[in-house]
Amino acid sequence: MSIYLLPNLVIDDIEKMINAFWWGGRSNNRGIKWMAWKCMAFPKEFGGMGFRNFKAFHFAMIAKQGCSFLSKH
């Protein structure tokens, strides 16, 4: 994730897998839906659950690699 720019569909699939892990959303079980993912990805101090927003995290990792590359060369 920190080297290549992944398509949004791949990042959405990663978030879906994490949701299925936490809430047990299998084919026969819909799982518990506490609140929308956008609300859960908010930081705890702003009323969210503190889950990571993977689109923002992915962009930050790419920016970190770019900054490192520019500062060393």
Q: Are 8 and 15 in contact (CB under 8 A)?
A: no
Which carries the bigger pLDDT value, residue 33 or residue 53?
Answer: 53
**Residue 23 pLDDT > 60, yes or no?**
yes
Structure tokens given for 31: 């799982």
Which parts of the chain fold into alpha helices (H)? 8-23, 37-40, 54-72
Q: Vertex 67, ends 64 and 70: CA angle to 5°?
A: 150
Domain ranges for the chain: 8-23+35-72
pLDDT category at 28 given cuts 50, 70, 90 is low
Give the global pTM: 0.61
